Amino acid sequence: MASAWPRTAAELEQRQLELADLEPMPWTFADGAVIGGCFVCFPRGPAGPGAEGDRAWAAAATAADAAVVGGSAGAPYAPGLLALREGSLLEAAVRALRQPPDVLLVDATGRDHPRGAGLALQLGAVLDVPTVGVTHRPLLALGRWPAREARGATSPLLLADRPVGFWLRTRTGARPLAVHPGWRTDARTACAVVLASVSRARTPEPLRTARRLAREGRASAGA
């Protein structure tokens, strides 16, 4: 997969359709796998979808490594076209790590997407790294929260009656997270990776660390 990111909505939509049709070799999660997370933030204050050229700070983190890079947004935010705004920034942050993670957590969706290939899936294809999307709510999919309050309880997220992810309780009694299989991961693997990376809070630690570092980068720039 070429590393260049599409620059127009039409190009991105075509790439997403191509990715949705691929069936890459499934990845197997094993003990000791290095789990990473990545996150991007923009200046505080302005409301709305933002604009092309907005300043941005992207971070990637594992338990042993972290990197923060600055850059600019490739486009305003538009549902289903997040890769135009954030894709190259997140790629740069992950590539800045001394060693790539074995699997990457992304604040974005996978198959829960109008064309079946959200940013979590596309970033994994560009980096050639298995990915899992973790969001607080689905994009298009629907599904009830798990009936059980216990850690590890799941319930399906459906798009056009097809499973595209799961609600997952990462802490007993806590609000569940939406977990999205991404590049080379299935639903069972995605949930296992997320549960393995949760400790102090309901959000996986690599994502929490990347989010904190990106925001610290923004703060140090006075934005």
Instruction: Name the residue among 24, 27, 180 with its Cα closest to residue 105.
Output: 180
Which burial class, exposed, middle or buried, applies to 175 when counting CB atoms under 10 A from its CB (0-12, 13-18, 19+)? Answer: exposed
Residue 41 confidence (pLDDT) above 50 = yes
- 62, two tokens: 């594992």
Angle subtended at Cα 10 by Cα 6 and Cα 14, rounded to the nearest 5 degrees: 75
Helices (H), the chain: 9-21, 82-95, 119-127, 187-196, 205-220
Percent share of the chain, pLDDT over 90: 94
How deeply is 126 buried, as exposed, middle or buried, from its count of CB atoms within 10 A (0-12, 13-18, 19+)?
buried
Mean pLDDT of 37-63: 94
Q: Is the pLDDT of residue 4 over 80?
A: no
Q: By three-state DSSP, how is residue 141 classified?
A: coil
Residue 46 is predicted with a pLDDT of 73
Q: List, for residues 179-200, the tens digit of each pLDDT value.
A: 999 999 999 999 999 999 999 8
Return mean pLDDT, the chain.
Answer: 95
Name 73's Cβ contacts closer than 8 Å, sequence gap at least 6.
42, 50, 51, 52, 53, 54, 55, 56, 85, 86, 89
List the domain boundaries for the chain: 31-220
Distance (Å, whole) CA 124 – CA 105: 10
Give the Å distances, CA to CA, from 128 to 104, 124, 160: 10, 5, 29
pLDDT of residue 48: 87
Determine the Cα–Cα distance for residues 6 and 8; give it in Å rounded to an integer. Answer: 6
Over residues 16-41, mean pLDDT: 97
Taking only the tens place, the pLDDT of each residue in 130-174 is 999 999 999 999 999 999 999 999 999 999 999 999 999 999 999
Average pLDDT value for residue range 48-62: 96
Determine the Cα–Cα distance for residues 65 and 128; give it in Å rounded to an integer: 19
Percent of the chain with pLDDT over 70: 99
pLDDT at 2: 43
CATH code for the domain defined by 31-220: 3.30.2170.10
